[in-house]
Amino acid sequence: MLRAELILARGRIRTLGRTGLKPHSHLAIAGGKVLACGGREVMSLRGPKTRIVDLGGSAVFPGFNDAHAHVVYYGLTRFAADLTAARGIDDVLDRLKAHGATLKPGEWLQGMGYRTDELTERRQPHRTELDRATGDRPAFIDERGGHARVANSAALAAAGITTDTPNPPGGRIGRDLNGSPNGLLLESAMRLVADVQPPPPLARRIEGVLKAQELLVSRGITSVGAAVNRGFADDLRAYETLACDGRLRMRVNEFLSWELLEAASEVGLRSGFGGGMVRAGPIKVFVDGGAERVAMRGGGGVWRTTPEELRELVSRATAAGLQVAAHAIGDGAIEAMCDAVEAARGTHLRHRVEHCTICPPDLQQRMAGLGMVAVMQPMAARFGRVASTIFFPVRDRTHLAPHRGLLRAGVPVAFSSDLPVAVDPNPWPGIRVAVEDQVSGISLLAALRAYTSGGAFASFEEQAKGTLDPGMLADLQVYRGDPLDEGEDVDWEQLRPRAVLLGGARVFGTL
Ligand SMILES: [Zn+2]
């Protein structure tokens, strides 16, 4: 008989699988997988070498799966000027100046993480303001959310952007009244400067992944859908290198930017290729823009990919066996993705709608019928409800972040942080928001599943992970006490696991 290597005893273990939220006291692990979960009888799997850990009533859950987090991007922000807490343009400039002093001559200055609605001026900085802090050094700063950037004069010059430069398709160059560029670049116009900026070397990306990993794993996240905005071969190389060196402590489903579709299909890559640690994920494409520029059925917004281009791309990806993850926030963009999946006959590939923020009932039904998955951010839903009158032109509030409607229609929902859009990837506050939402609330079990087996389903791995049923990977997190019993007294923002296991091996904390 197979003996357990490790038994977690006297805990409150919730598999989130067949037995849902019902607590079990004992869990046995062997060969990196769950051998058994149940009561005292599990102790019969004890052998001479079995380690027994007495949990003393502590809760255990499957590891979280953050289905959409910008791992490399977040990691790289750790090497840029941190503008996350900036509260005014002077504050932005001070931070840029201080960071610039640490750089080599000619090195590009980057800053990330501010939001205009958090600045007292409530506007983007002008290029000439950046120039005051940066001088001749090219500087390029990102607004949190990833849809707007500001370049200083040197960066605009490096990209050759002048008064005469036309707006690219799916993007806009901000201009002064006289037509001269003011530094602001929206949506695909960001690429004009990004393409001339020297890309960070592989070593920097690897360091960035390690920083992101430290944060993610400390929040109980054992699997991540690594979202991308552009196609850098070095992203996948960074994960592969870390996996080969045994330094990767989370499982990565690596998105591939739409620019890599051709290359991926030429080498015969299909979604799911890879091993238990690093897999080829979906082809990522942007359909519409960020919050203020979402594509609605009634018109307006930005189409970063037109419906015709999307249809072409989804057809080619489907024919190659590649799943597509489409950034679509507005109902117009979601509808275009449904049309594209239908035309491609791509129902078997679980094509994904990332964000899926404004999704009325008829589109919920279509997504269900087309076998599509909604990958959502519950924290953004809260933000959307508060700010919907400003950002989202929605008439019916039940169309906004419709977690309940989607689940009822039969659409699998996976939750995610969209790190670094959410500054902290801790899933618990989002789970609470999804449960307590007055308009579209879902059960605690459904919310926890969206953050565990939901992500596993989205990457075709629901047979391997996402629950603690026997035979599943022993990716799990152990808490101090039982947060679900303490209810009201728990500070969900601060809730952290005390230990995290990946395939039965400790990757964070102490057991
Ligand atoms: Zn994203």
Per-residue confidence in pLDDT tens, the chain, 511 aa: 789 999 999 999 999 999 999 999 999 999 999 999 999 999 999 999 999 999 999 999 999 999 999 999 999 989 999 998 999 999 999 999 999 999 999 899 999 989 998 999 999 999 999 999 999 999 999 998 788 999 999 999 999 999 999 999 989 999 999 999 999 999 999 999 999 999 899 999 999 999 999 999 999 999 999 999 887 889 999 999 999 999 999 999 999 999 999 999 999 999 889 999 999 999 999 999 887 789 999 998 899 999 999 999 999 999 999 999 999 999 999 999 999 999 999 899 999 999 999 999 999 999 999 999 999 999 876 666 655 545 566 778 889 999 999 999 999 999 999 999 888 999 999 999 999 998 899 999 999 999 999 999 999 999 999 999 999 999 999 999 999 998 678 999 999 999 999 999 999 999 9
Amino acid at 93: L
How remote is the CA of residue 69 from the centroid of ligand 1, in Å?
6
- Cα–Cα distance, 234 to 201 (Å, whole number): 8
Q: 471: how many CB neighbours lie within 10 A of its CB? A: 11
Name the pairing type of β-strands 499-502 and 64-69: unpaired
CA distances from 49 to 30, 45, 403 (A): 11, 11, 46
Q: Which residues contact 442 (CB under 8 A, 6 or more apart)?
A: 403, 404, 407, 434, 435, 450
How remote is the CA of residue 423 from the centroid of ligand 1, in Å?
13
Nearest to 467 by CA among 475, 459, 272: 475
Q: Where in the chain is the domain with CATH 2.30.40.10?
A: 6-63+471-509
How remote is the CA of residue 330 from the centroid of ligand 1, in Å?
15
- Cα–Cα distance, 334 to 395 (Å, whole number): 17
Q: What per-residue confidence (pLDDT) applies to 384? A: 63
How remote is the CA of residue 458 from the centroid of ligand 1, in Å?
15
Q: Which listed CATH number (3.65.10.10, 2.60.40.2700, 1.20.1440.230, 2.30.40.10) goes with 6-63+471-509?
A: 2.30.40.10
Rounded to the nearest 5°, which phi and psi values hold at 74? -60, -45
Q: Where in the chain is the domain with CATH 3.20.20.140?
A: 202-458
With beta carbons less than 8 A apart as the criterion, state whether 193 and 215 touch.
Answer: no
Identify the CATH class of 85-194: alpha beta
Residues with CB under 5 A from ligand 1 (ion): 227, 418
Q: Where in the chain is the domain with CATH 3.10.310.70?
A: 85-194
Question: Computed over its alpha carbons, how large is the radius of gyration of the chain?
Answer: 23
How remote is the CA of residue 377 from the centroid of ligand 1, in Å?
10
How remote is the CA of residue 288 from the centroid of ligand 1, in Å?
12
Q: What per-residue confidence (pLDDT) applies to 397? A: 82
Q: What per-residue confidence (pLDDT) applies to 230? A: 82
Q: What per-residue confidence (pLDDT) applies to 341? A: 98
What's the token pair of residue 458? 């989205």
CB neighbour burial string for 110-132, b if at least 16 within 10 angstroms, e if fewer: bbbbbebeebeeeebbbbebbbe
CA end-to-end span of the chain: 26
How remote is the CA of residue 227 from the centroid of ligand 1, in Å?
6
3-class state of residue 69 by DSSP: strand
Strand order in the sheet with 59-62: 12-13, 59-62, 476-478, 499-502, 505-509
Name the CATH topology of 202-458.
TIM Barrel (3.20.20)
Amino acid at 129: E
- Cα–Cα distance, 372 to 405 (Å, whole number): 14
- Cα–Cα distance, 53 to 156 (Å, whole number): 59
CA atoms within 13 A on the CB side of 211: 17
How remote is the CA of residue 418 from the centroid of ligand 1, in Å?
5
3-class state of residue 62 by DSSP: strand
Nearest to 478 by CA among 449, 460, 504: 504
Q: 368: how many CB neighbours lie within 10 A of its CB? A: 17
Q: Token match 């996948």: residue? A: 236
How remote is the CA of residue 323 from the centroid of ligand 1, in Å?
17
pTM: 0.93
How remote is the CA of residue 355 from the centroid of ligand 1, in Å?
8
Q: Where are the alpha helices (DSSP H) in 8-140?
A: 71-77, 89-100, 127-134
How remote is the CA of residue 39 from the centroid of ligand 1, in Å?
41
- Cα–Cα distance, 29 to 505 (Å, whole number): 10
With beta carbons less than 8 A apart as the criterion, state whether 91 and 444 touch.
Answer: no
What's the token pair of residue 506? 């400790």
How remote is the CA of residue 7 from the centroid of ligand 1, in Å?
38
